Amino acid sequence: LRDFKNIHLYILGDGPLFDDLKKKSSKVGFNVTLVKRIDNQDVAKFFSDKDFFLLPTLEEGNSKVLLEAMASGLIVLTNNLEC
């Protein structure tokens, strides 16, 4: 946790928190890029050079993007939902 200079966080989605996240992203100690949308044909290319995929949700069960991240070989982190 000492050196955040090598961290680059991508936040994907155009939800109701997008504008707030955009404002707050400039205040963290590492690089943050907000991406509203990725076309379906570009998902695999986007994931190809990433290390992790984080899906912090309380509402999505088996999302398509989660499956795409796993298919791309990413380490996937999510919460344990009891359905």
**Residues in Cβ contact with 81 at an 8 Å cutoff, skipping those fewer than 6 apart:** 58, 61
Q: Name the band, by pLDDT with cuts 50, 70 and 90, for residue 6.
A: confident
* pLDDT tens for each residue of 43-79: 999 999 999 999 887 777 678 888 999 999 999 998 8
Distance CA 26, CA 8 (A): 12
* pLDDT tens for each residue of 12-47: 888 898 999 988 888 887 889 999 999 989 999 999
Can you read off the two tokens belonging to residue 64? 């398509």
